[in-house]
């Protein structure tokens, strides 16, 4: 179940929590703020992403994820709107599926990518909450491929262990593929299936040329992620404009 | 006046809903949250309700959150950070570059008689220039008249944080009708106080005693957080005044 809150943190310029599929992330955005001279870019805003794991301090895994997110958001945020500034994004992982599988520290060999969709979603929601100008929104999802070749959306920790390959895909609000991170062995046909499924989850409509029957069975029960995003914003706006909607002020 | 549709960043605003002016010479004004992609596409850049003003031929996206970005002619409450020979460096939002306040930008200030501001003093000022490529410049007088018009150092009192949306509403010409703010008028019937509102989400309040000052600030913050309508604000203020 996907759970979203916008602006839970009082002191940050923008913040959001995103909980889905056993992963929970709090994101905080500060910006545009003053940038250190060595990081300053004359024509655009610098973007700084910091990931804090649920336990312990960040390491190679977190740096790797940071670089993926930073490179994605650089194209999503309208960086030219705030030149010579810094937009700081802090992502705190609150809960992850790995907790149940590996109590304590994660083994080095554990997979990097399963937490990535939650991180991407939380950061885009926090950016929305901070009113940073964006060129588009994005949605991301995790998909695992079972040994029999079936694609499983929102896999559990056990599914991930058993999967032959796992994929993270992110789509822009225009339906374009923004991020793809894949791990494991898979064929091009499998990837096409994964792509169609992920696009359905994130963006809703299918592309015309995809006609796999096993994909269409559970179309109805899937709420597309874009709608969840829009609902979260709608709720926030409704709360902010409560003073306008309240019955007494409408009468005056 | 304004129709409300929710937009998310990257949505194209359909040409059908753009305001149609009665005067064809009036140019379309794009407010915050929108950008023009040549030749003739308009897309949103932030999330919020899309507002359209037919009379002014203007369209914009409202937002209540985020960091304050200085805009020319905004009234702001700033803190003096340090002073150099010609300028005071002030702070309007934390962790941003300091806007500069010329030491002679006060009413009747000359090289001999100019206000001495220590670091930490509060000023009520107006943004003179603000562009994304330069540091903003702020002044404490109206350059066209040379008068202070209420700007200058704020002595005593206390500053409260409010949301940017509330600050904008309090600064509206018709606070009660347009902004839906009744707190200040309602308190003013019982308690005397001075107030200065900065677009950067700050309210400075000064009155006879600490209790009264806190009353004004807390009432505003309460109305802000709970999103109270006019009637609810009146009720809140009456309850708070009874407690004082």
* Counted domains in chain A: 1
For chain B, say whether A173 makes contact (Cβ under 8 Å).
yes
**pLDDT tens figures, B163-189:** 999 999 999 988 888 888 999 999 999
Residue B124: closest CA among B110, B138, B103:
B138
Is residue A249 included in any domain, yes or no?
no
Domain interval for residue A68: 3-241
Residue A215 has pLDDT above 90, yes or no: no
- Within 192-251 of A, beta carbons closer than 8 Å to B belong to 229-230, 233-234, 237, 239-249
**pLDDT number for residue A252:** 37
- Show residues of chain A in contact with B69, CB under 8 Å: 32
User: Residue A52 domain-assigned?
Assistant: yes
B86-123 pLDDT tens trace: 999 999 999 999 999 999 999 988 988 888 999 999 99
- Give the side-chain half-sphere CA count within 13 A for B202: 24
In a domain, A218, yes or no: yes
DSSP letter, residue A226: H
Is the confidence at residue B79, as pLDDT, over 90?
yes
Is the pTM here over 0.95, yes or no? Answer: no
Helix axes B210-226, B230-243, angle to 10 degrees: 150
pLDDT at A44: 94
Name the average pLDDT for chain B: 91
Let me know if residue A247 belongs to a domain: no
Judged by CB atoms closer than 8 Å, whether chains meet at A133 and B8 is answered as: no
- Cβ atoms within 10 Å of B133's Cβ, excluding its own: 8
> What is residue A227's DSSP assignment?
H
Contact criterion met (CB < 8 Å) for A30 and B67: yes
The percent of chain A in helix, strand and coil, each rounded to the nearest 5, is 40, 25, 35
The total of other beta-carbon atoms located within 10 Å of residue A224's CB is 18
ipTM associated with this complex:
0.91
**Contact status of A132 with chain B (Cβ, < 8 Å):** yes
* Greatest CA separation for chain B: 60
Q: Does the bond joining A85 to the residue before it have cis omega, within 30 degrees of 0?
A: no
Asked if residue A48 is part of any domain, the answer here is: yes
B103: Cα separation from own chain's centroid: 23
In a domain, A104, yes or no: yes
Q: Does any domain span residue A199?
A: yes
As a whole number of angstroms, the distance between CA B62 and CA A193 comes to 40
**Which distant-in-sequence residues (6+ apart) come within 8 Å of B102 by Cβ?**
B86, B87, B88, B137, B139
Taking only the tens place, the pLDDT of each residue in A54-98 is 888 888 889 999 999 999 999 999 999 999 999 999 999 998 876
Structure tokens at A76: 């999503």
Strand partners, A51: A91
Mutate to test the interface with A, among B229, B231, B234, B235 (most CBs of A within 10 A): B229
CATH code (residue A68): 3.30.230.70
CB contact, 8 Å: B174 with chain A?
no
CB-defined contacts A:B, below 8 A: 121
In a domain, A33, yes or no: yes
């Amino acid at each position: 179940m996907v759970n979203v809150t916008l602006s839970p943190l009082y002191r940050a310029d923008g913040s959001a929590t995103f909980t889905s599929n056993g992963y929970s992330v709090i994101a905080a955005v500060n910006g545009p703020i003053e940038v250190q001279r060595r990081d300053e870019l004359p024509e655009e805003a610098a973007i700084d992403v910091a990931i804090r794991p649920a336990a312990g301090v960040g390491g190679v895994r977190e740096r790797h994820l940071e670089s993926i997110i930073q490179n994605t958001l650089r194209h999503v945020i309208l960086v030219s709107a705030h030149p010579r500034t810094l937009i700081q994004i802090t992502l705190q992982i609150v809960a992850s599926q790995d907790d149940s599988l590996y109590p304590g520290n994660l083994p080095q060999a554990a997979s990097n990518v399963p937490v990535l969709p939650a991180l991407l979603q939380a950061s885009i929601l926090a950016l929305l909450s901070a009113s940073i100008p964006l060129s588009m929104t994005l949605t991301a999802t995790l998909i695992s491929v079972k040994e029999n070749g079936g694609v499983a959306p929102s896999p559990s920790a056990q599914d991930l262990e058993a999967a032959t390959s796992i994929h993270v895909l992110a789509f822009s609000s225009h339906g374009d593929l923004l991020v793809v991170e894949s791990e494991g062995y898979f064929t091009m046909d499998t990837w096409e299936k994964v792509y169609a499924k992920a696009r359905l989850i994130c963006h809703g409509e299918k592309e015309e040329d995809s006609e796999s029957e096993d994909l269409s069975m559970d179309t109805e029960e899937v709420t597309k992620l874009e709608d969840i995003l829009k609902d979260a914003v709608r709720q926030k706006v409704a709360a902010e404009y409560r003073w306008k909607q309240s019955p007494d002020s409408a009468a005056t | 006046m304004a129709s409300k549709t929710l937009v998310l960043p990257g949505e194209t605003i359909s040409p059908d809903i753009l305001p149609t002016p009665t005067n064809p010479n009036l140019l379309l004004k794009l407010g915050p949250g929108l950008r023009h992609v040549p030749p003739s596409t308009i897309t949103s850049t932030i999330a919020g309700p899309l507002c359209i003003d037919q009379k002014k031929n203007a369209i914009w996206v409202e937002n209540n959150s985020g960091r304050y970005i200085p805009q020319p002619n905004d009234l702001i409450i700033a803190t003096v950070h340090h002073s150099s020979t010609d300028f005071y460096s002030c702070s309007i939002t934390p962790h941003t570059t300091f806007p500069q306040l010329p030491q002679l930008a006060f009413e009747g200030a000359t090289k001999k008689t100019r206000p001495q501001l220590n670091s930490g003093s509060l000023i009520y000022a107006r943004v003179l220039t603000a562009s994304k490529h330069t540091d903003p410049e702020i002044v404490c007088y109206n350059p066209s008249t040379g008068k202070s018009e209420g700007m200058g150092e704020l002595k005593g009192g206390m500053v409260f944080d409010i949301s940017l949306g509330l600050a904008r509403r309090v600064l509206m010409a018709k606070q009660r009708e347009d902004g839906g703010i009744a707190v200040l008028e309602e308190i003013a019937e019982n308690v005397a106080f001075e107030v200065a509102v900065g677009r950067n989400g700050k309210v400075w309040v000064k009155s006879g005693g600490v209790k009264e000052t806190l009353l004004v600030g807390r009432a505003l913050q309460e109305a802000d957080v709970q999103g109270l309508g006019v009637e609810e604000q009146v009720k809140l203020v009456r309850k708070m005044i009874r407690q004082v």
